[in-house]
Amino acid sequence: MSMIEMPVPDAGILARRSEIVAALEVAAGAENVIWDAAETLAYECDALTAYRCPPLAVVLPRSTDAVSRVLKACSKLGVPVVPRGSGTSLAGGALPTADSVVIGVSRLNQVLEADYANRFIHVQSGMTNLSVSEAVAAEGFFYAPDPSSQLACAIAGNIAMNSGGAHCLKYGVTTNNLLGVTLVMMDGEIVQVGGPLGEQSGLDLLGVICGSEGQLGIVTEAWLKILPKPEGARPILLGFNANEVAGACVADIVKAGVLPVAMEFMDKPAIIACENFAHAGYPTDVEALLIVEVEGSPEEIEEQLGKIKEIAARHHPQVMRESNSPLQSDLIWKGRKAAFGAMGQMADYMCMDGTIPTSKLPEVLRRMDEMSKQYGLRVANVFHAGDGNLHPLILFDANKPGDQEKCEAFGSDILRLCVEAGGCLTGEHGVGIEKRDLMVEQFTPEDMEIQMRVKDVFDPQWLLNPAKVFPMQISHSRRVRNTGEAA
């Protein structure tokens, strides 16, 4: 079925299964180890569901010390480890191999300290993204990064993938909101990197740990920035008769010095799909739709929306509809947030995640349209317009032989196009297995070698999530050297 290659499981490890399970039970307590095949099945995939493989065993430790003991045991036994937050990765970041042990942090879900005066929260990494914001909401604070999966996704996964969200134009992504971590390294050593202060005295190790896709260590605790909630927020809906015009409007808003908290772009296929699904009241006769949201007091919102309307008017929008009530605001966002659901109702789909310089938007959309015709697969685009992060949704039929392969090939072409336009393969989902083999499109062998050397420092055995991020061929000698994996 699958086109993306995974390493051949190490027969030697599979043969030692009972010895390994016994060691895990000693390290974490038998009640925290899952090895029955019927139960490990629940961990066979993440949100990239096309790829599945149950692991050798799953451990759900209840403390940092237990994580340390488990990693130490795996390190001694030479067993690969796949860290797992909530399993919502769209890139296969938590996909196991048959010879691996999954370490899930879901039972580490406590708030350790909320310090409002110093504006941080210290949490265990299995807490969901949304539950962190909820924990500080009563005091009028929130945690800014808001990936679409925020109801389910864990802070551990957010850190591993440096997750973004719709509001990063103003608030940045995970790395800009992360102050420190407790990291357990593959040999079991526990280190604190950063802390409540957010500025380290030496090298910025936190900066490279964030976004390292679980390859440098397992994060069990995090110190996160919390921000006072704005007084209010209000979106405006702008419809244009061409993608180019919407793109020009975005650039003019930015140039005028207005900094909206979100600027979401939808192309015509996305508008129609979302409207049919969510009945958000979107105009279906426009080519491109922008949702622009601003924050502040009622007067501040008026001031900013006034400027946005003035700029938009110069681009002759077909629709300019300001929200006048929380109910209307919810409705405007409802459509956008339903994009994935809407697509899912129409067909199977694959969600891509490239970033392009915003100035290249019209050109990229035009070429994507040509490719869509060439491949005979439909594509709809939702796009964080302020920051250039593109989410093409390619529709296919999983029951039709060859359709998934075609879809993956189309997706790869789109990502190549993003790189060619001056952008990158992934803006917020991560490389995982999905974009692993495309890394050569963006990086030279030297670019990747130095990244792999960073892993050499943290995980010299290459046991942590080893078959991810770097193309298999390129990481081969390091993986084989250490695990004895079949070549």
Nearer to other proteins, 62 or 119 (CB): 119
The correct pick among 197, 242, 313, 486 for binding other proteins (CB under 8 A) is 197
400 is written with which tokens?
């039709």
Nearer to other proteins, 5 or 204 (CB): 204
Site for other proteins in 337-396 (CB under 8 A): 355-359, 384, 387-389
| 3-state SS string for the chain | CCCCCCCCCCHHHHHCHHHHHHHHHHHHCHHHEECCHHHHHHHCCCCCCCCCCCCCEEECCCCHHHHHHHHHHHHHHCCCEEEECCCCCCCCCCCCCCCCEEEECCCCCCEEEEECCCCEEEEECCCEHHHHHHHHHCCCEECCCCCCCCCCCEHHHHHHHCCCCCCHHHHCCHHHHEEEEEEECCCCCEEEEECCCCCCCCCCHHHHHCCCCCCCCEEEEEEEECEECCCCEEEEEEEECCHHHHHHHHHHHHHCCCCCCEEEEEEHHHHHHHHHHHCCCCCCCCCEEEEEEEECCHHHHHHHHHHHHHHHHCCCCCEEEECCCHHHHHHHHHHHHCHHHHHHHHCEEEECCEECCHHHHHHHHHHHHHHHHHHCCCEEEEEECCCCEEEEEEEECCCCCCHHHHHHHHHHHHHHHHHHCCCECCCCCCCCCCCHHHHHHHCCHHHHHHHHHHHHHHCCCCCECCCCCCCHHHHHHHHHHHHCCCC
Nearer to other proteins, 40 or 64 (CB): 64
**Residue 115 C-beta: closest distance to other proteins, Å:** 8
Pairing mode, if any, of strands 111-115 and 190-194?
unpaired
Number of residues that bind other proteins (CB under 8 A): 92
472 touching other proteins, by CB under 8 A: no
155 touching other proteins, by CB under 8 A: no
447 touching other proteins, by CB under 8 A: yes
What phi and psi values does residue 261 have, to the nearest 5 degrees?
Answer: -75, -25
**Residue 470 C-beta: closest distance to other proteins, Å:** 8
Nearer to other proteins, 80 or 430 (CB): 430
Q: Is 82 left (phi over 0), alpha (psi -120 to 50) or beta?
A: beta
The correct pick among 78, 230, 283, 471 for binding other proteins (CB under 8 A) is 230
399 touching other proteins, by CB under 8 A: no
The correct pick among 47, 60, 395, 425 for binding other proteins (CB under 8 A) is 425
Nearer to other proteins, 88 or 304 (CB): 304
The correct pick among 82, 144, 193, 351 for binding other proteins (CB under 8 A) is 193
> On the CB side of 257, how many CA atoms lie within 13 Å of its CA?
1
The correct pick among 374, 456, 477, 486 for binding other proteins (CB under 8 A) is 456
CA atoms of 100 and 43, how far apart (whole Å): 11
**Residue 193 C-beta: closest distance to other proteins, Å:** 7
Site for other proteins in 38-57 (CB under 8 A): none
Choices 4-12, 149-157, 192-200, 332-340 (CB under 8 A): range interacting with other proteins: 192-200
**Residue 118 C-beta: closest distance to other proteins, Å:** 5
Choices 31-39, 101-109, 447-455, 473-481 (CB under 8 A): range interacting with other proteins: 447-455
Q: Cβ distance 294 to 308 under 8 Å?
A: yes
Nearer to other proteins, 213 or 267 (CB): 213
Nearer to other proteins, 206 or 270 (CB): 206
**Residue 198 C-beta: closest distance to other proteins, Å:** 8
Choices 60-68, 128-136, 285-293, 295-303 (CB under 8 A): range interacting with other proteins: 295-303
What Rg do the C-alpha atoms of the chain give, in angstroms? Answer: 23
Site for other proteins in 53-92 (CB under 8 A): none
305 touching other proteins, by CB under 8 A: no
446 touching other proteins, by CB under 8 A: yes
Choices 11-19, 62-70, 402-410, 444-452 (CB under 8 A): range interacting with other proteins: 444-452
Nearer to other proteins, 377 or 393 (CB): 393
208 touching other proteins, by CB under 8 A: yes
Site string for other proteins, 90-129 (x = CB under 8 A): -------------------------xxxxx----------
Nearer to other proteins, 236 or 424 (CB): 424
Choices 3-11, 21-29, 252-260, 343-351 (CB under 8 A): range interacting with other proteins: 252-260
The correct pick among 44, 303, 363, 369 for binding other proteins (CB under 8 A) is 303
CA atoms of 340 and 332, how far apart (whole Å): 15
CA atoms of 117 and 141, how far apart (whole Å): 11
**Residue 176 C-beta: closest distance to other proteins, Å:** 5
189 touching other proteins, by CB under 8 A: yes
